[in-house]
Amino acid sequence: MNPCSLENHTALVTGSSKGIGLAAGIALREAGAATLFHGREKTPRHIPEGAPYLTADLAAPGGPETLAEKAFAEAPDLDLLVCNAGSFFDVPFLEMSEERWDQTLDLNVKAAYFLAKAFAARLVNENRPGAVVIVSSTNGFQAEEDSTAYDTSKGALVMLTRTLAHSLARYNIRVNGVAPGLIRTPLTGGWMEAHPEKREHYEKKILLGRIGTPEDCGGAITFLCSNAAAYITGQVLVVDGGLTVGQIGRM
């Protein structure tokens, strides 16, 4: 039996109308999982034909619980959760407002925390095993200029991965994370095109010599959801092409 197969599993991927979340959802489907996609858009363009798509604002009060209810109503056998939804709202630190701080933490951290809680509570009540993957970032380990709230939120997700793994191990629910480096997504693509000199700098700093793709993250997420990772919990897999390995990179 293929240990990476996800046949007879069902997954929910948040923020999966584009970017890393979309790639993760497609990768999970290709591995055999029935996959629920999620976003705020009413009519996403890139969701695979026929795939269930759920709308919910995870930053709104009760949003995570609402999404969990919709997901279990659509797929009562749901046993895999990928907490990917998040965004970047930063301005320079001395210009940061409480509103922007709350916007960042509510979406990037609070939503993942309470969605994971609702998901795990259902599985524990039904005495079923499961797996959670939390998408953080290399910004959770290394700070970036004018990224104070985002960096803080991603660091929080690294610890959230570890503490939820500790809390849920007794219920046979594994919790792991991925920390993408620089990935070309709708969020970063415009920045790369506007600043080719910075893109070139990163391409030299990244040991594998290229900017990452969402599909690079999709494979890592699929692995962590599968039986191939059955003895792995509380770990954060860095997916950065070697960006954070060396001080200088390739000369």
CA dihedral sign of residues 225, 231, 234, 240? negative
Please, are residues 91 and 105 in contact by the beta-carbon 8 Å criterion? no
150 is catalytic: yes
Given the residues 150, 171, 202, 231, select the one marked as catalytic: 150
| pTM of model > 0.85 | yes
What pLDDT is recorded for position 71? 98
CATH numbers and ranges of domains, the chain: 10-239 (3.40.50.720)
Q: How crowded is the C-beta side of 95, counted as CA atoms within 13 Å?
A: 6
Measured between alpha carbons, how far is 124 from 222 in angstroms, rounded to an integer? 22
Going from the first residue of the chain to its last (251 residues), give the mean pLDDT of each consecutive group of 10, the final group possibly shorter: 91 96 98 97 87 96 97 98 96 97 98 98 98 97 95 98 98 98 83 78 88 96 98 98 85 68
Identify residue 131 by its one-letter amino acid code: A
